[in-house]
Structure 1
Amino acid sequence: MSPLPDVGRRSPAGAPPSSRSRIARRVVAAGCVGVGLLALPDLLRIDRVTPFAQVVSLRPYVLVGVALLVLVTAGFAWRFRQLVPAVAALLAVLVTGVAMTVPRTQAGPLPATGRPLTVLTFNALDGAADLDALAALIRTERPDVAALIEVSETYRDRLAPLVEPLGYRMVTATGTDMDGVTDVFGVTALVAGHLGEVTSSVDRSTQFPIVEVSAAALGPTRFVAFHAVAPRLGDVAEWSSDVAKVARYCSGGPAIVAGDFNATLDHSVLREATTGCSDAAAQRGQGLLATWPTWLPAWFGPQLDHVFATDPIAAEDVAVREVAGSDHRAVLVRLRLPG
C-alpha cells in the first residue's frame, strides 16, 4: 500500500514552509524600511517629530551602521538568495545618505577677495563656562563679532570688565528668564569697537531672544545671535518653529547668523530655513565637525553650533576651541565680506 501524500505536514514551527518564507520576507522588508526611516527621515520630512528629529542629527554614524549591515546581509545573501533584494535596498539607503553627507567634507574654493571678519559663537552652558578661559579666547582671537549663547546680564556683568578694555561692546537680551539668576535664557552679541556705531534690535517671540546687530563698518550686513530650543521630547514643534525663523535673515539681505541652532544640516527644517545662506564649516569641508558634547571624543557628535552667511559672503577658515565648563565647543570663523 502506497503512503498517503504529505500535503498536511507542517514545519516544527507550526507553519508551512511557504508561510514561513513569506513571514521572513515581510520581516526583512520591514527591517529595511525601518533602517531607511532612521537614516533618511528628512527626505520624508518626518525628521520634525520624535524620534527622527533626534536620530537624524547622528546620521554620519547611523550610516556607518548601515554599511556594516550591508556587509553582513551581503554575506548571508550568498546562501540565502532571498536576501538579495534586502542588500539592494540597504545599499540604496547607504548611497543616498553618503551622497547627502560627503559634500560637507569637501572644501570649496577659498575667497580670493573681500574684507576679513572674524566671527565667534559659543554656548556658555547657563553661564557655567570658565570666565577667564572665555576672556582669554576673546583676547587671543579678537573676533569682530560674537554670539554668546546662554549669557544673560549675570554672566555678562562678570565678563565685561575683562573684554570691554579691549574695545568690545555687548548687547544682551533675555527671554522667559524671570528670576534674573539663570543665564540659560540669555543671548549676548559682542561687537568690536573698530566696527563703529552699533544699533540693535531684539526679537522676543521665541523662548530664547534673537539679537540683531548692525554696525557702521558692516554696512548693510546684519549680525544675528541665535539660539533655538533643543528638540527634546515635547519641544520638537517649538524647536522646528525656532529654526524656521532663520529664513527671514537668509532671504532678507546680507546677514551673518551665528549661534546654537540645536540642529545639523541633516535636518530638513534647517536646510530649508538657510536657503540663501551658506554654512561656514561646510564651505571649508568641515561640515561634520562635532561641536557638542565636549565629554565625547572630539571626532564624535553632531554639529549644532553654526555660522551661516548670505552669499557672496564666504568662509576662509573654521576652527573649534574648547572652553572649560561648557558642553559646547566654541566655533571661530574667518569670513570674507565682499567689497
Structure 2
Amino acid sequence: MFRRFVAIVAFVALAAALTLVAWPQLLGLQRAPVLALAVSFRGAAAAAALAVAVVLTAVGLVLHRLRRGLGVLALLLVAFAAAEAGVLVVRGVGAPDVPVAQADDVTVLSWNTLGDSVPAQVVARAAAENRATVVALPETTEGRARQVADLLARQGSTYTVFSRSQQAGIPARSTSVLVSTALGRYREVTADGDTVGVPSVVLDPAGGQNAPRIVAVHTTAPYDLDPATWRSDLRWVAARCSERNVLIAGDFNATIDHLDGLGPAPGRLRTCRDAALATGNAAVGTWPTSMPALIGTPIDHVLATPNWRFTGFRVLSDDDAAGSDHRPVLARLRPAG
C-alpha cells in the first residue's frame, strides 16, 4: 500500500514538473532559473520525450512486473511531447515567403556573427541578396561592419555604420548596425543606457525624417544559476518599445515564452510585436546551427511597433556553415495603413 502511495506521489510530481516545463507561464516562471533554459528547446524536448517513451514501452513489454508503471510514465511523456508539439504548431513551423520589397518597405537582416566568425563577403551577400535596409550584427566589431559596408558600397548600396563595444579586443563584446542611407541620417543615442553583459545600439533619425528608431539588441544568455542580468536586459529592451515608431532586431537570447509578461500579449514587448509570430515562423530555431531548425531554439528576433506590419519573415539556413552558431533572420515591414 505504501509503495503504491509513493508511486502515485511520484507520478503526480512528474506530471506537475512536465506541465511547468511545457508552460511555465502558469506560475509566471518563464524567466526563472532552470525553467528559462528548459522551455527554450521545445522541439528537442518533444523529440527526447518521445524517444524515452518508446524505450520505456519496449522495456515494459519485456519486464511484465514493471509494465503498468512504465506505461504510465510513457503516457506522461507522450502527453508532454504532444503539448510541446502543439505549441510549436500554433506558433508556426515555417511560412518563409517574403514578398518583393515595395518603395516604402523596410527590410531588416539580423545576424549574430559569433565574434566576427562570418566573413564580411558572406554578410554582404546576404544583405545585398535580400535588399536589407537595416543590418543588425551582434558580436560584430566596427572593423568587420565597415568591411561589409565597403563591399555593399561597391555594389551601389551605401550604409552608415554604427558600433558599440564593451571590451576592446573581444569581438563577441561588440554590436554593430548598418543603416541604408535611403532611410536618411541617423545618430546614436546613449541616454537610454545599455544592456549589461553585451552591448546594444540605439539609433534615432537625425535629419527630421519620418523614420523609425532602430535598436540592435544583444542580451546576456540566461546561463547563470540566477539569470538576473538577463532578466534586466529583457526589461531594458521592453522599455525601448515605449516610443511610437520603433524597429528592434538582434539576439535576444530569449524565445517567445520568455517575453510573456513583458507586454500585453504573447510575443509582445510593450507595444512591439514579433515578426516571426506574426507570420507563422515562431517555432523555427535560429540557434544553434548544429541542430535542425525545428529542434533548435528561436532566440533571434525582429520586432516593431503597430505602425508597421510584417509582410514576411524567414530564418535563413543557407549559410549554416558560414562560421556562426546563429542563423540570420530576415523581416520585411511595410507602413501600416
Q: What is the aligned partner in structure 1 of residue 137 from structure 2?
A: 148
Q: Tell me whether 1:248 sits opposite 2:235 in the alignment.
A: no
Q: Tell me whether 1:314 sits opposite 2:309 in the alignment.
A: yes
Residue identity opposite 2:215 in structure 1: V
Q: What is the aligned partner in structure 2 of residue 62 from structure 1?
A: 45
CA contact (8 A) 1:229 1:235 kept: no
State the alpha-carbon separation in 2 of the partners of residues 296 and 95 from structure 1: 21
Residues 226/268 of structure 1: CA separation in 2 closer, same or farther (3 Å cut): closer
Structure 1, gaps ≥5 residues long? 1-17
Larger Rg: 1
The share of aligned pairs that are identical, in percent, is 32
Residue identity opposite 1:310 in structure 2: T
Alignment of 1:1-339 (within 5 A): 18-64=1-47, 100-105=87-92, 115-165=104-154, 166-175=157-166, 177=167, 180-202=168-190, 203-204=193-194, 206-215=196-205, 219=210, 221-234=212-225, 236-268=227-259, 272=263, 274-321=269-316, 322=319, 324-338=322-336
Matched residue SS, 1:249? helix
Q: What is the aligned partner in structure 1 of residue 64 from structure 2?
A: none
Alpha-carbon deviation of 1:92?
7.6
Matched residue SS, 2:111? strand
Q: What is the aligned partner in structure 2 of residue 3 from structure 1?
A: none
State the alpha-carbon separation in 2 of the partners of residues 119 and 261 from structure 1: 15
- The answer to which of 294-303 and 93-102 deviates more is 93-102
State the alpha-carbon separation in 2 of the partners of residues 139 and 29 from structure 1: 54
Structure 2, gaps ≥5 residues long? 62-66
Residue identity opposite 2:138 in structure 1: I
Residues 243/209 of structure 1: CA separation in 2 closer, same or farther (3 Å cut): same
State the alpha-carbon separation in 1 of the partners of residues 246 and 221 from structure 2: 24
Alpha-carbon deviation of 1:218?
6.2
Alpha-carbon deviation of 1:27?
1.7
Alpha-carbon deviation of 1:239?
0.8
Q: TM-score, normalised by structure 1?
A: 0.79
Deviation track 1:91-110 (CA, whole Å, cap 9, x = no partner) reads 88667656654331187xx9
- The answer to which of 249-258 and 98-107 deviates more is 98-107
Q: What is the aligned partner in structure 2 of residue 13 from structure 1?
A: none
Deviation track 1:48-75 (CA, whole Å, cap 9, x = no partner) reads 23321111001244345557788979x9
The count of corresponding residues between Structure 1 and Structure 2 is 312
CA RMSD of aligned residues (A): 3.3
CA contact (8 A) 1:154 1:181 kept: no
Alpha-carbon deviation of 1:115?
2.8
State the alpha-carbon separation in 2 of the partners of residues 193 and 85 from structure 1: 59
- The answer to which of 213-222 and 236-245 deviates more is 213-222
Residues 85/155 of structure 1: CA separation in 2 closer, same or farther (3 Å cut): closer
Residues 234/92 of structure 1: CA separation in 2 closer, same or farther (3 Å cut): closer
State the alpha-carbon separation in 1 of the partners of residues 26 and 16 from structure 2: 13
Residues 317/256 of structure 1: CA separation in 2 closer, same or farther (3 Å cut): same
Matched residue SS, 1:288? coil
State the alpha-carbon separation in 2 of the partners of residues 252 and 283 from structure 1: 20
Residue identity opposite 1:254 in structure 2: N
- The answer to which of 151-160 and 300-309 deviates more is 151-160
